[in-house]
Amino acid sequence: MSRIVTLGESMGVAATSAGQPLRTAGQLRLSTAGAESTVAIGLSRLGHAVEWIGVVGADELGARVLRDLAAERVGLTYSRTVAGVATGFMIRELATAELTRVTYYRAASAGSLLAPADVLPAIAAGADILHVTGITPALSESCAAAVQAAVEQANASGITVSFDVNQRQSLPLSGRAREVAAQLLPLVDILFVGQDELWVLSDETDPLSAAKELLKRGPSEVVVKRGTEPAIALNTSGELTECAAWPVQVIDVVGAGDSFVAGYLAAGAEGLPMADRLRWATTCAACTVGTAGDWEGLPTRADIEYRGAAAVTRR
């Protein structure tokens, strides 16, 4: 069992049912949301020890976040609660299965207070993998410093660094996404990027060409998430693998990319080959897309095996 550390903001989320516009919704479903916490839950369900580092407010939403993570056996040793600052919140409108509108209430939230002092002790305690995303550095200067410090310390300690670009245009420091990614890339081992995010890292628009170019800048593996198109993974040994997405009835697409990452990292932590890593990743994404919520549908190991082999192609 590997130990994985991740960090970032987790928030409360209230969502309409699929196909229900917010302005006429009679009920909202309350849950927890956050890219890194979704990855943490996914890894935990697949049998790994995971530590989530973040800051929540001393309010009911903060209590809900910690309750949900603890219930999923995610470690909270290095998380903290602060008084007088609200936990972030979002409202998600699932107008249709394919169209989601999100309204954030996270300006100056508790999550934006994350700082290097929060994350460095967890890295010093040891880990096999550190996973970060491009969301956290875009929240605040202290969050950006926390991610940079964590990645630098992990890299110096021989800990595998996983980075998911996860670009969000609406965040305060999103305009620095390309600069931040360029600083992190030489220290990253596994890079995840959506096809629609390639511009953050590369001038190449073709996913395979971009992956080849990005491998020259630090990572040993580049994984391009492509939605309904086959995901591709390429490493410095020249191994190229593709895996088709599972055909599922779409309920809610939010969280699919983070679920994909959880599956890939879980399989990789167990030493499985790239084809199996992509199979686990696409299975996790399919389970999330086919259920309501970011993480509620994430699979167990038994669920992974029940679905059997995905359409994997090695080249």
Which residues are catalytic, by number?
A: 258
With beta carbons less than 8 A apart as the criterion, state whether 33 and 13 touch. Answer: yes
Estimate to the nearest angstrom the gap between the alpha carbon of 314 and the chain centroid. 25
And the tokens for 91?
């409202």
Sign of the dihedral through C-alpha 173, 116, 199, 284: negative
Estimate to the nearest angstrom the gap between the alpha carbon of 132 and the chain centroid. 8
And the tokens for 148?
């940079």
Terminal CA-CA length for the chain: 30
- Segments of the chain assigned E as strands: 3-7, 11-15, 29-33, 49-53, 55-57, 80-82, 89-93, 101-105, 129-133, 160-164, 190-194, 221-225, 231-235, 240-243, 312-314
How many CA atoms lie within 13 Å of 225's alpha carbon, on the beta-carbon side? 28
What residues contact residue 270 under an 8 Å CB cut-off, 6+ apart?
2
With beta carbons less than 8 A apart as the criterion, state whether 295 and 259 touch. Answer: yes
